[in-house]
Structure 1
């Protein structure tokens, strides 16, 4: 249950946007009298992700200094409190401020749960639980979208009550986890670790991983954010059908995560080569599609590659890190992945303007994914380079 108690909170990262997406029209209508409401209201959904991108490195520093479990407990409490707050708030500014609080708490939760998985588990077990985060996050997105839509029938405030589920996750953390000591994962630390020195931090290694993570994150989120628009352009107008078709294509992510559990011990360069190749083919089919069926096939292929890509990058970033810098490394990686999420709509908009529309943007992004595959191919041909997942065995012992 220890691994599961750290896996479930990762679903809170998808809740911030997906749960509220169905009630966005209601929110826009509620605050329609406010100047520039069409700009400010969507920030209720998007500002947490921006906060995660900015605050995750700080969350990692705090985790290495004050300890993981203590901060995680308070972060879950804060998430529940500020998450439910809009139920009782009437001012848009106050609601957005509460959403900033959600983003800060979410950054702590994502970084600390990932770090604690790295603390508690070793080798293949660690890789399994880290990869499981991807599957849980993607499957929870399907669940929260439907919950948000059903509760939205009772008014725009109702879905915010779901944030109270963080208290259930808090109970699991209290029962099944302990403060890792860094000496023995099975022993509980009796004081804060106070690790804050950056000397010896693997900056050169992490810089490359972070750059690839941002690049991959933009491609990862493109289908999740833009597939609905693509389906609508192909003639599907019913929102329910669009949501259903998008969710069907997104099943490729957890399937990809399962595939990773079988092939994840291969060299990272080989994995990246295959993953970017799947993204390339998927985007190309999407961009050339003339009807929904080939478009959805392209989405599914793309999401298969994305489902393997995310755990590859996460495990690669966390692999072989000593206890005293692990939280900071997790914070930097989480921030990088969230930056990619934030940049994704910007990149798609620029690609659309250059390629003559969204479908053209998908074709253009297939070229970007192909560049990633070529880079991975070059890396796989280099001897003794860092993209070798086989080093994990030696690092894990």
Structure 2
């Protein structure tokens, strides 16, 4: 299997494969929200459709459904048929399905194209995660998991700002932003090669394989559940923050956009320092620090009507999430046997979007019952509990990850 030397000898950002994988990362997590600025214009454009109000709102979460359902199956396909071809397929599908809203005739067909976009994102995210595990090891792998989060944050921010600008000319133009992904295809084609991998069952005896599977599956399952919960709490921000700010009297898309921009920028910057911070405090310290920062952020947002503290709270949440998010990938790649990295990456990808999808479904009843203050305070308390539980759990299993 191809491995990269230690990051101190060959910095990961100098490796063309790392650059290609980071460029692919910019296409993924915020792909759903890229068209958000165009939603009001799309509703007006298709005003003759009696379901326009509902259908336009469903365009944003639609890719999450197919990602959550299909990512584990895509992971199995990646383990069976290889990473490179499915990464290239995912990018081509991303360009074609993402930009289809430029010309499709109605909201129903656009909605279907968004479902297909979810398949593309699942292909990209899952194959990319497997390739990080195949190509890199040690400090290089750790550094790349942090840089991946930065790439997603900065890429998402750029695409949303660009979509907002072109949507002011025509709501359909926002779909054209997805077509920019074609620019990274030549680089992916040239530098991403299929790594040599051991096939399942060909490395070691059956008894050893069985023991290894039992050992890693339980720990991996815990990471999957924890990541779903983390994303469920994190997505309170984009799903409930606009209504919370409106209830506080701020109102307007500008305040929401500014707050979420602070969150994404802070997260992107913090992720650049992930490797250094993790080296200082270890995995056992990353989870308590990250979850405590997120809890503090929710408390800041709810504790004062001052806009400045709202920005500070968003920054704290973004920074905390940027610490814990790459840790899930790093620990998974440490745990999963090489022939199962595609499956592990697929399940891990699915857990991200399951958490996103469940977030408004679970947080909205809490808002109705306890108000926004109660919901944000509850999220902070839950994050403190996660901080303690994750810290103890990771500390007990720390020897497994060094």
- Both structures adopt the same fold (TM-score exceeding 0.5): yes
Structure 2 residue 178 is matched with structure 1 residue 169: no
CA distance 1:32–1:88, change in 2 (3 Å) = same
Match of 1:244 among 230, 236, 258: 258
CA offset at residue 156 of structure 1?
1.4
Match of 2:107 among 92, 95, 103: 92
- Counterpart of 1:257 in structure 2 is 271
CA offset at residue 269 of structure 1?
3.0
Give me the TM-score of the superposition, normalised by structure 2: 0.88
- Counterpart of 1:207 in structure 2 is 221
Contact 2:259 2:314 in 1 (8 A): no
In the TM superposition, what whole-angstrom CA distance separates every residue of 1:208-255 from its partner, at most 9, and x where no partner exists?
Answer: 111111111112222244333333333333423431233123322123
CA distance 1:128–1:224, change in 2 (3 Å) = farther
- Counterpart of 1:363 in structure 2 is 377
CA distance 1:37–1:251, change in 2 (3 Å) = same
5 Å-filtered alignment, 1:31-50, equals 31-50=46-65
Q: Which runs of 4+ in 1 moved over 4 A?
A: 193-200
- Counterpart of 2:247 in structure 1 is 233
Match of 1:341 among 340, 352, 356: 356
CA distance in 2, matches of 1:259, 1:220: 20
In the TM superposition, what whole-angstrom CA distance separates every residue of 1:339-382 from its partner, at most 9, and x where no partner exists?
Answer: 111111122212212212x233111111111111221344366x
Structure 2 residue 221 is matched with structure 1 residue 221: no
CA distance in 2, matches of 1:110, 1:377: 27
Q: Secondary structure at the match of 1:319?
A: helix
CA offset at residue 256 of structure 1?
2.6
Match of 2:401 among 385, 392, 395: 392
5 Å-filtered alignment, 1:78-89, equals 78-89=93-104
In the TM superposition, what whole-angstrom CA distance separates every residue of 1:102-129 from its partner, at most 9, and x where no partner exists?
Answer: 1111100110011111110111101111
Alpha-carbon RMSD across the aligned residues, in angstroms, is: 2.2
5 Å-filtered alignment, 1:147-158, equals 147-158=162-173
CA distance in 1, matches of 2:391, 2:85: 43
In the TM superposition, what whole-angstrom CA distance separates every residue of 1:6-59 from its partner, at most 9, and x where no partner exists?
Answer: 111122224522320000001112223323332222121111112111111011
Give me the TM-score of the superposition, normalised by structure 1: 0.89
CA offset at residue 143 of structure 1?
1.0
Contact 1:31 1:41 in 2 (8 A): no
CA distance in 2, matches of 1:50, 1:172: 30
CA distance in 2, matches of 1:102, 1:15: 12
Any gaps of 5 or more consecutive residues in structure 2?
A: 1-15
CA distance in 1, matches of 2:348, 2:139: 20
- Counterpart of 2:386 in structure 1 is 372
CA distance in 1, matches of 2:29, 2:335: 28
Structure 2 residue 135 is matched with structure 1 residue 123: no
- Counterpart of 1:19 in structure 2 is 34
- Counterpart of 1:278 in structure 2 is 293
- Counterpart of 2:69 in structure 1 is 54
CA distance in 2, matches of 1:173, 1:380: 35
Structure 2 residue 341 is matched with structure 1 residue 332: no
CA offset at residue 291 of structure 1?
2.1
Mean Cα deviation higher: 57-66 or 174-183 = 174-183
In the TM superposition, what whole-angstrom CA distance separates every residue of 1:134-168 from its partner, at most 9, and x where no partner exists?
Answer: 11111122211210111102211112122222222
CA distance 1:74–1:232, change in 2 (3 Å) = same
CA distance in 2, matches of 1:64, 1:153: 43
Match of 2:306 among 283, 291, 310: 291
Contact 2:262 2:314 in 1 (8 A): no
Match of 1:109 among 101, 110, 124: 124
Contact 2:129 2:329 in 1 (8 A): no
Any gaps of 5 or more consecutive residues in structure 1?
A: 184-192
CA distance in 1, matches of 2:144, 2:68: 23
CA distance in 2, matches of 1:172, 1:22: 30
- Counterpart of 1:189 in structure 2 is none
